[in-house]
Structure 1
Amino acid sequence: MWDYITERQSQLLYQGYQHLSLVIQCVVLATVIAVVLAVLVHRNPKIASAAEGISAVGLTIPSFALLGLLIPLAGIGTATSVVAVTFYATLPILRNAVVGLAGVDATLVESARGMGMGRLRTLVRIELPLAWPVILAGVRVSAQMSMGIAAIAAYVLGPGLGSFIFTGLTQIGGANALNSALVGTLGVVLLALVLDALLLGVGRLTTPRGIRV
């Protein structure tokens, strides 16, 4: 296996970079979408409950099925991969964002409003910072899940390490088939660990000191 890795070092590094870049960009986009949706619905319990339900149901959709449905709309390649990864990445973040915002003490919000803070300022200065640890937990779950989804996106010729996995699986019994599948899988796991460590650092930097665990 070591010979296989050294012979393809530049390819592995490039596709590993593509994989990580795809996941990070999709998770950032998913975070923005999820937080905006959560802000819009969290004050209405019925709509918020529906959003959580949709998040749970959305996660049950098989990724291969979604990719197949997206091919006629977005074609084969990066665009379909981005849509699929962003879709799955949004769901756990949305659920956590709704829960996090709903868990903010209402008395704190009322006190801020009583001090003359507008709704937007209260959201930015009070609600989102207090909900951020819960939202970030959803982001971490989303990032780990997105690593796997991005690998499956190689089915539609998406960028990343998934191509090594699919090459190995389609050439079972052939030379280097096992090495290809193992290298792709281990590469995805390694990237997932690196990204989770980065998110832990982001959490330390962005979570208000008074509510750090």
Structure 2
Amino acid sequence: MTEVSSLTGRLLVASPALADPNFDRAVVLLLDHDAEGTLGVVLNRPTPVDVGDVLAPWAALAGMPRVVFQGGPVSLDSALALAVVPGDHRGADDPGPLGWRRVHGAIGLVDLEAPPELLAAELGSLRIFAGYAGWRPGQLEEEVGEGAWYVVESEPGDVSAPAPERLWRAVLRRQRGELAMVATYPDDPSLN
């Protein structure tokens, strides 16, 4: 078996060629990518559900918009949370605050079983996701090879983008070369 180069912490940006409606113009942060498969959350799918309606103790820490995001089509009845630890200049070996697990750089998963007040002073804005996106071993690599996804670097601000509906274009626009031009791709190419 060939070794998998980890894409953990990177973004998958749906190409216009991706036909799956679950991922149309999706920006996915990869939380785990190894020989066992891949797990991530879609960063730009806000729902109308207020965080306070489902996880009231965490509502005050949630960033704007203060809604639950659909993290992907898998396990929509489960929740996970991401938060950035501002100014986190600790080494990769430092686990960070109790109740937070580093995914990449200053971005980490929050233990929703922990008391929110334990983390309140440490966290930047929090984002809650219902469900996640998952790929079996080798599946993501196949999809990237077929041109369904662009793999790009993430930035801490991607997790808490205040205008998630513009994240797809914003992430593409900051890329170099021809990839930045994809940001101008029309929502409905048949209208060109």
Q: TM-score, normalised by structure 1?
A: 0.28
Structure number with larger C-alpha Rg: 1
Q: Which has the higher strand share?
A: 2
Q: Which has the higher helix share?
A: 1
